[in-house]
Amino acid sequence: MTPTLEMVELRKSYGKFVAVDGVSITIPPGTVFGLLGPNGAGKTTTLRMIMDIIAPDSGQILFDGRPRSREDLERIGYLPEERGLYRRMTVLEQLTFLGELHGLTAKEAKLRGTAWLERMDVGDRAERKVEELSKGQQQKVQIAGTLLHEPEVVILDEPFSGLDPINQSLFKDLLAGYKAEGRTILFSTHIMEQAEKLCDHICLISKGRAVLAGELAAIKRREGGNAYRLVASGDLDRAGEVAGVDHAVVDADGERARLFLTADAVAADVLRDLVGFLAVRDFRSEEPELEEIFVKAVQNAA
């Protein structure tokens, strides 16, 4: 299957500072792809190179398996990190203007803009000036402007910034609907919890370099292969002494523990020894949290 987007050895420097250092990313069609990392890792620079806002020093950007063209950018909806609304325009005027920039007629842009405002629960703000809206409402207008022309590919830079939990949930539902329609979504974030709930594939970036990339489920299975959750009655502190257990972290309730097995341990053998002195109710492989995976990947890459 030809990737929707592919970045091959992208590099961008500003003087002696290397913002993006040989990053390669493959984004399959119809997926939600997370570009993850702390602030300053190179995420925004990477997205700006995809959108041809800045040019890479070296490397290649492919769209549907061929070099990206200006025409391909018309098929993309882009939400930049630095929001760009005209504050003295009314909300509907703003959306109509953005729609026209994407090739819609003024009439079609106005109709779509009105529908999107209702969908984003800000329909009653259509005739208000942008500067009169709250930060969260402005963010919703910006999102509507990004999606107004029904793009095939959606690229979002820190899209949840400025949204309260209720509106974050609304936006997540919107992205899920886009994915169900077969569209490709690429978004950046430094909040791992968001990515863990939304993404199919990820790329973790640290100091301009990709330190881990691939299908999220496969990464979690691979990275969590030695972590197990134990629920049992008895002396759980002894679990750390069992052969094959590197160490154990016992919860405060004394009935749950997280066991970290050695690389050569066999889980069935560990369980056999545990039931010799514990009443085991549950023993299962436990996937690590994405933030834990990221910290480990950064440390290994250092």
197 band by pLDDT with thresholds 50, 70 and 90: confident
Same-domain check for residues 159 and 42: yes
Burial class of 169 by CB neighbour count within 10 A (0 to 12, 13 to 18, 19+) = exposed
- Domain assignment present for residue 15? The answer is yes
At 289 the pLDDT is 82
At 233 the pLDDT is 94
Distance CA 166, CA 160 (A): 11
Owning domain of residue 118: 5-220
At 4 the pLDDT is 92
- Domain assignment present for residue 295? The answer is no
At 300 the pLDDT is 77
Contacts with 29 (C-beta within 8 Å, 6 or more apart), sequence order: 1, 2, 3, 4, 182, 184
Most confident range (mean pLDDT) of 180-184, 220-224, 290-294 is: 180-184
At 135 the pLDDT is 85
The torsion angles phi and psi of 223, rounded to 5 degrees, stand at -75, -25
Q: What is the CATH number of the domain that holds 279?
A: 3.30.70.100
Model-wide pTM > 0.85: no
Same-domain check for residues 30 and 179: yes
Same-domain check for residues 146 and 197: yes
Q: How many CB atoms lie within 10 A of CB 296?
A: 14
Answer whether residue 171 shows pLDDT above 80: yes
pLDDT, tens digit (0-9, with 9 covering 90-100), for 97-117: 999 999 899 999 999 999 999
Query: 56 vs 134, which has greater pLDDT?
Result: 56
At 64 the pLDDT is 94
What distances in angstroms separate CA 156 from CA 82, 117, 163, one per listed residue? 11, 19, 14
Type of residue numbered 30: G
Alpha helices in 120-227 (DSSP H): 135-147, 165-180, 192-198, 216-223
Scanning the structure block, which residue is given the tokens 């969260």?
A: 136
The percent of residues in the chain predicted with pLDDT above 90, rounded, is 65
Domain count, the chain: 2
- Domain assignment present for residue 135? The answer is yes
Contacts with 165 (C-beta within 8 Å, 6 or more apart), sequence order: none
236 band by pLDDT with thresholds 50, 70 and 90: very high
Distance CA 268, CA 110 (A): 63
- Domain assignment present for residue 55? The answer is yes
Same-domain check for residues 138 and 229: no
Query: Average pLDDT for residues 265-273, to the nearest whole number?
Result: 93
* Region of residue 150 (left: phi > 0; alpha: psi -120 to 50; beta: else): left
Same-domain check for residues 268 and 199: no
**Residues 196/289, Cβ–Cβ less than 8 Å:** yes
Same-domain check for residues 178 and 144: yes
What distances in angstroms separate CA 49 from CA 23, 142, 193, 273, one per listed residue? 12, 21, 26, 55
pLDDT, tens digit (0-9, with 9 covering 90-100), for 42-94: 999 999 999 999 999 999 999 999 999 989 998 999 999 877 788 899 999 99
Same-domain check for residues 263 and 150: no
Contacts with 166 (C-beta within 8 Å, 6 or more apart), sequence order: none
Query: Average pLDDT for residues 169-193, to the nearest whole number?
Result: 90
Same-domain check for residues 265 and 185: no
Same-domain check for residues 207 and 275: no
Scanning the structure block, which residue is given the tokens 């025409």?
A: 71
Same-domain check for residues 136 and 254: no
- Domain assignment present for residue 291? The answer is no
Q: What is the CATH number of the domain that holds 91?
A: 3.40.50.300
What distances in angstroms separate CA 99 from CA 96, 151, 175, 190, 296, one per listed residue? 5, 12, 20, 30, 44
At 165 the pLDDT is 85
DSSP-based helix, strand, coil % in the chain, nearest 5 = 35, 30, 35
Query: 290 vs 12, which has greater pLDDT?
Result: 12
Task: Calculate the average pLDDT of the chain.
Answer: 91
Distance CA 183, CA 172 (A): 14
- Domain assignment present for residue 299? The answer is no
- 220-245 exposure pattern, b = at least 16 Cβ within 10 A, e = fewer: beebbebbbebbbeeebeebeebebb
- Domain assignment present for residue 298? The answer is no
Same-domain check for residues 36 and 116: yes
Same-domain check for residues 35 and 111: yes
- Domain assignment present for residue 61? The answer is yes
